[in-house]
A and B are shown apart, each in its own frame.
Chain A
Amino acid sequence: MQVFPFVVVVWILAVGLYGIVTSRHLMHLIMCLIVVQSSTYVLLLGVGYRTGAVAPYFYDVPVHTPAVDPVVQALALTDVVVEAAVSALLLAFAIQAHKRFGTLDPHELVELKG
């Protein structure tokens, strides 16, 4: 097992969260959320990776050929679908926020307080 992919995962997660916490623009903030999610793609694919293994197509290869884990690829695909739904909805909210508030700075959305 290599450590490097997992260092990358933690780094992507950390910069994404840092971005969400400090962002002053909703579009930027939603992009940072997508960055946070990207860390899960790298994590899933890193978990299933095997050095020297082929892609999981069991056709026209000898019987005991090592292959990377196809389950995590299915999980990553599902994850992508989820991300598409969530980010589409969030971007629609951001457009509405811009129409109603005239700004995309989260500090100036002042409808709900206390």
Chain B
Amino acid sequence: MNQLPALAVVVPLLMAAAISAASPLLRGRRRLLDGAAIATSVAVAVMLAVIMVRTAHGDEVYWFAGFRASRGVAIGIDFTAGPLSAGLACLAAVLVTAAMTFSWRYFDEVATYYQALMLTFLAGMAGFCLTGDIFDLFVWFEVMGVSAYALTAYRPEERGPIQGALNFAITNSVGAYLSLSGIAVIYARTGALNMAQIGASIARHRPDGLVVVAFVLIISGLLIKGAIVPFHLWLPDAHAVAPTPVCVLFSGVMVELGLYGVARVYWSVFGAALGHRGAITGIFLAFGLLTALVGALFCFRERHLKRLLAFSTISHAGMFLAGVALLTPLGLAGTAVYVAGHALVKAALFLCTGIILHRLGSVNESWLHGRARHLRVTGMVFTVAAFGLADLPPFATFAGKAWVEASAAGRDLSWITVVMIVSSVLVGGAVLRVAGGVFYGLGDPPGEDPQMAEQASEETSETMPSRGRTPLSMIVPAAVLVLAAVGIGVLPHLGSVVQAAAVRFQDQAAYNATVLGGAHPAHPAAAFSMEKTGLTVADVASGAGSAIGALLLALAALYWRRLPVLRRGFEPGAGLVRPIRAFQSGVINDYVTWIVLGIACLGGVMALAFR
């Protein structure tokens, strides 16, 4: 039996333990521990890449301790690796490698638990992707969560990190417990914890109240992790205060893993029972597009660079949910490519922000205006990555979004293209405004918001500002990630290969046969048919148009004070500051109130849809 899927989780966990144990012995030899951690994450990335390539023609099931399914009953616990799940886990490992390489020179002194926590975090993410058991999904969710909370409060001697970590930990824990309640409910109905077996068991009947309640509870926790409005409030707080290399992982994969969980639970467990109704598409589209717009608007008004990027992640998470909501193979394939492209580009943006913080000691856009002119390479990487975020061809983000839009048109939902382009333009415009102002000194500095300035100045102690040169270990990972985002976008046959993987991900009957019967159906069939993956001239025009729109918006934001038609001192959206501050209040009670309200809404509409 091939042990590779298990090793991808076991190796980082053991190395985390070994590093914690060895660190007192190796005091003063930090590089040894750094090197071991980087080598481990590279090894995990290679293992997962091998699994991803190997499973291109059929999922691989690994039963722990060899407890195989017997006569259609899963006795043991399994890992089910497919190209999409292994690919996402591989992406996580790549980002961990980039973040650890960046940290090489970023932290002057690194606490010994940093490397161990990063590796535990990686193991949690890989396990979450690969697991085929719904209770294990919860356990990996918590492994990932606890490491992430601890990494957020990496500098516990400051006020911001403590508050951010508290908000993050409490909201996500509430979500985890709701998910667990849903798991218990579905176990009560089916007596099974294996996803395939639960799915096979509930597919035989019409969905009743209990199944719908279980579905809503399980996805609530995952949507909180996935930062979908109104469950997103923890995310900007956590991103603003977590060390920048950790933000790379939060934005790049952790949030997307929540949405991957929704897709996994839907297509491996509930899909056949709930019957792929239009209502599912409608509900998830509504949540997704609302999130895309809210995230984009908040992103545009932000002046704190890390919070700005955090809101852009929220906006993209909404677009990912909308892509999944289409339920079509092309929609899922497009989302997968979009997630990969976004993760690489966003990671590069965060790394460049880290370089700004390292060299200039601030993340306040107003203060930084024109002060980063001498960081030429960083500015170039940041600007290119910003265009990638605005879906410029040939970035992977462009290809993924074009497929999502093509698939939406195929389901007579072409209007969502408008919402997605508006969000992309707003987010891309905000990031390009930062690039133009901070690195090239274009236009006027944006209006100073005293509170934002105060928050941004809190950030200074994360890294020791250095006036020398930017270390290569910081800029090279960022540049490589941007190049990778372009490289994925121009891969030949990308669309058809990923769509074939998406069909298999969505084919519950084939999944059940693979897990419970050990068979590999040769011709999987999804509920919706395959679509063409060619990118037309119109797609390229739309991608380029959204990038140009973002550029124009950025220029307008930088130069609008010089336009003669506007009176002096006019700040657009100034009246909204107070309500926005009340919404994003930083008070944990409010966040949980929104979560409860959101779940009540979600449950209510689901109950109406499945009456």
Partner-B contacts on A (CB < 8 A) = 9, 13, 17, 20-23, 26, 29-30, 33, 36-37, 39-40, 43-44, 47, 71-72, 75, 78-79, 82, 85-86, 89-90, 92-94, 96-97, 100-101, 106-107, 109-114
Within B253-288, which residues are at the interface with A (CB < 8 Å)? none
A-contact 0/1 string along B582-605, CB 8 Å cutoff: 001111110011001000000000
Could you tell me if A93 and B165 are in contact, using CB atoms closer than 8 angstroms?
Answer: yes
Could you tell me if B177 and A112 are in contact, using CB atoms closer than 8 angstroms?
Answer: no
Q: Which of A21, A29, A43 contacts B184 (CB 8 A)?
A: A43
Q: Cα distance A89–B152 when bound, in Å?
A: 12
**From residue A9, how far is it (CB to closest CB) to chain B in Å?**
8
Could you tell me if B193 and A71 are in contact, using CB atoms closer than 8 angstroms?
Answer: yes
Question: Whose C-beta in chain A lies nearest to the C-beta of B135?
Answer: A75
Asked whether A114 and B452 contact (CB < 8 A) given A75-B135, A106-B588, the answer is yes
Question: Whose C-beta in chain A lies nearest to the C-beta of B188?
Answer: A47
Find chain B residues with CB under 8 A from A90 CB.
166, 169-170, 173
Asked whether A100 and B170 contact (CB < 8 A) given A82-B139, A112-B586, the answer is no
Find chain A residues with CB under 8 A from B139 CB.
78, 82
Could you tell me if A47 and B586 are in contact, using CB atoms closer than 8 angstroms?
Answer: no
Could you tell me if B163 and A109 are in contact, using CB atoms closer than 8 angstroms?
Answer: yes
Question: Whose C-beta in chain B lies nearest to the C-beta of A87?
Answer: B173
Find chain B residues with CB under 8 A from A29 CB.
170, 588-589
Does residue B181 face the partner (Cβ distance < 8 Å to A)? yes
Partner-A contacts on B (CB < 8 A) = 135, 139, 142, 145-146, 149-150, 153, 156-160, 162-167, 169-170, 173-174, 176-177, 180-181, 184-185, 187-188, 193, 236-237, 240-241, 451-452, 455, 458, 577, 580-581, 584-589, 592-593, 596
Asked whether A89 and B592 contact (CB < 8 A) given A47-B187, A71-B193, A111-B458, the answer is no
Question: Whose C-beta in chain B lies nearest to the C-beta of A9?
Answer: B181
Find chain B residues with CB under 8 A from A79 CB.
180
| Most-contacted residue by chain B among A21, A72, A85 (CB, 10 A) | A21
Could you tell me if B589 and A23 are in contact, using CB atoms closer than 8 angstroms?
Answer: yes
Could you tell me if A21 and B593 are in contact, using CB atoms closer than 8 angstroms?
Answer: yes
19 A-B residue contacts at CB 8 Å?
A20-B174, A23-B589, A26-B166, A30-B170, A39-B181, A78-B135, A85-B146, A86-B142, A93-B149, A96-B153, A97-B162, A100-B159, A106-B587, A106-B589, A109-B159, A109-B587, A112-B163, A112-B237, A113-B584
What 5 pairs across the A-B complex have the smallest Cβ distances? A112-B586, A47-B188, A114-B581, A111-B159, A100-B159
**From residue A93, how far is it (CB to closest CB) to chain B in Å?**
5
Find chain B residues with CB under 8 A from A36 CB.
174, 177
Question: Whose C-beta in chain A lies nearest to the C-beta of B595?
Answer: A17
Could you tell me if A114 and B451 are in contact, using CB atoms closer than 8 angstroms?
Answer: yes
New A-B contacts (19) at CB < 8 Å, excluding given A21-B592, A112-B237: A17-B174, A33-B174, A39-B181, A40-B181, A44-B184, A47-B187, A72-B184, A75-B187, A89-B150, A90-B173, A106-B587, A109-B162, A109-B586, A111-B159, A112-B167, A112-B455, A112-B586, A113-B585, A114-B584
Say whether chain A's binding surface is mostly helix, strand, loop, or mixed: helix
Q: Cα distance A43–B146 when bound, in Å?
A: 23
Q: Cα distance A33–B178 when bound, in Å?
A: 11
Could you tell me if A93 and B451 are in contact, using CB atoms closer than 8 angstroms?
Answer: no
| Most-contacted residue by chain A among B164, B169, B584 (CB, 10 A) | B169
Asked whether A22 and B589 contact (CB < 8 A) given A36-B174, A89-B146, the answer is yes
Find chain B residues with CB under 8 A from A111 CB.
159-160, 163, 455, 458, 586
Q: Which of A20, A39, A82 contacts B589 (CB 8 A)?
A: A20
Find chain A residues with CB under 8 A from B596 CB.
17, 21
Question: Whose C-beta in chain B lies nearest to the C-beta of A24?
Answer: B589
**From residue A2, how far is it (CB to closest CB) to chain B in Å?**
13
Find chain A residues with CB under 8 A from B150 CB.
89
Could you tell me if A40 and B180 are in contact, using CB atoms closer than 8 angstroms?
Answer: yes
Asked whether A113 and B586 contact (CB < 8 A) given A21-B592, A97-B162, the answer is yes
Q: Cα distance A102–B135 when bound, in Å?
A: 40
Find chain B residues with CB under 8 A from A85 CB.
142, 146
Asked whether A43 and B181 contact (CB < 8 A) given A21-B596, A113-B581, the answer is yes
**From residue A62, how far is it (CB to closest CB) to chain B in Å?**
23
**From residue B423, how far is it (CB to closest CB) to chain A in Å?**
20
Asked whether A93 and B581 contact (CB < 8 A) given A86-B146, A113-B586, A114-B452, the answer is no
Q: Which of B158, B159, B577, B593 contacts A114 (CB 8 A)?
A: B577
Could you tell me if A112 and B240 are in contact, using CB atoms closer than 8 angstroms?
Answer: yes
Q: Cα distance A33–B135 when bound, in Å?
A: 20
